[in-house]
Amino acid sequence: MNSTGSHTMQVNPARPLRLLLASVLAVLAVVLAACGGGGTVPPTGVDIRPLSAEFTQRKAVAYSPFRSNNRDTEDITDAMVREDLALLAQGRFTLLRVFDSSDKVAARLLRIIRDDKLDFKVMLGAYIFTEKATILTPTQVEANKAFNQAEVDRAVRLANDYKDIVLAVSVGNETLVSWSGSAIASTPTVVAGYIKYVRDRVTQPLTSDDNWAFYAKKSSEPNDPKLVIDAVDFVSMHTYPLLDTVPPAVPNWDWQQQDVPESERAVAMMDAAIEAAKSEYAAVRAHLDSLGQQAKPIIIGETGWKAEPVGNTANRAHPVNQKMYIDRLNAWSAQAKAAGTSPVSIVYFEAFDEPWKGDPGDPLGAEKHWGLFFVDRSAKLVMRR
């Protein structure tokens, strides 16, 4: 889900000379790897930078500090962030995914973690807006390009200034899936270009967060993920079985469980939900493998379950069901780690409820009530021991 809203960068189609140079560099990379250069070189794409053990072993959660109906006008303070970090530490969520590289959130968070010597690591984001001329005026296109360039420059600076805390960088959030909002809808060429720009300037592994349907090249998806898959060190896919049941989506799993006794339907539904998430992961894994990218790891960059039955989720969203989904995620993660397979990490969405998400005036909006904690920072059932 989306949690946000210099020089001009323009990514042009590769010319024949660039293609020749890319081929030469690919051959040289294979030779260097054979001579002990390090990394894993797939048939196409980058020399993969491995995710650290700290990244894969820590419990991960998506974090934003906003508490009001208007994130743009809300003042975020150090005290607010420190309160949040104390709660997340109690829950042992010590890998935080943030969506941008803003001074307001990301820079503040990293400074507090370092200054207070806190045991947290961060998956840093770079938020990218659309550059499509079919959506914007020429002036708006240039303004968005300027913002995007400034944002990736901020990401580079923070990743380098806080190398001991930032374990990975994600460029773009749900910008390429077919239902991406017009404000951020992008193209694989643009996103891959920004990934390369950042990757050339930092040492951490790079990814781009997007829905599983994009990365699996589902038939409904117009964007081919190959350029992005080749550009990243690992894939960060999103899976939301709950939202797959909400119109206009066509359910791809049986949430109603009518063949099960009514007293057992909730448990059966949550068992089916986690199997749906596993199926979406398997579709992404299969597509990567078909591209010769068997060595490229996958994380679940976002998944979760609403605790309140709003946004057309009656009989599905519930505090108990949220807890059952998290329990099943934890079991899946433990099994994958024991077997040494993907997903190598699962990022739960999200730490705290955010009233501004979706329509701030609609308390029943589909993007609300996903947090482990209520907006007042009291714990939901899933966090109670």
- Give the model's pLDDT for residue 21: 35
- Give the model's pLDDT for residue 44: 61
Concatenating the DSSP letter of every residue in 313-359 gives: -TTT--HHHHHHHHHHHHHHHHHHHHHT-S---EEES-SB--TTSS-
Strands (E), the chain: 59-62, 93-97, 121-126, 166-173, 206-211, 235-238, 298-303, 346-348
**228-232, 268-272, 309-313, range with the lowest pLDDT:** 309-313
**15-19, 55-59, 73-77, 100-104, range with the lowest pLDDT:** 15-19
Whether pLDDT at 158 is above 90: yes
- Give the model's pLDDT for residue 34: 35
pLDDT band at 325 (very low <50, low <70, confident <90, very high): very high
Mean pLDDT confidence for 91-97: 98
- Give the model's pLDDT for residue 222: 97
Torsion region of 170: left, alpha or beta (phi above 0 gives left; psi -120 to 50 gives alpha)? beta
Greater confidence (24 vs 234) lies with 234
Whether pLDDT at 25 is above 60: no
- Give the model's pLDDT for residue 364: 63
- Give the model's pLDDT for residue 9: 35
Share of the chain above pLDDT 70, in %: 87
**92-96, 129-133, 167-171, 267-271, range with the lowest pLDDT:** 129-133
Mean pLDDT confidence for 323-331: 97
Mean pLDDT confidence for 52-77: 96
Mean pLDDT confidence for 45-50: 93
User: What is d(CA 295, CA 383) in angstroms, rounded to the nearest whole number?
Assistant: 35
- Give the model's pLDDT for residue 26: 40
Whether pLDDT at 87 is above 90: yes
pLDDT band at 363 (very low <50, low <70, confident <90, very high): low
Q: Which of 375, 361, 354, 348 has the alpha carbon at shortest distance from 97?
A: 348
- Give the model's pLDDT for residue 268: 98
pTM: 0.88
Strands (E), 275-372: 298-303, 346-348
**22-26, 81-85, 167-171, 339-343, range with the lowest pLDDT:** 22-26
Whether pLDDT at 29 is above 70: no
- Give the model's pLDDT for residue 4: 54
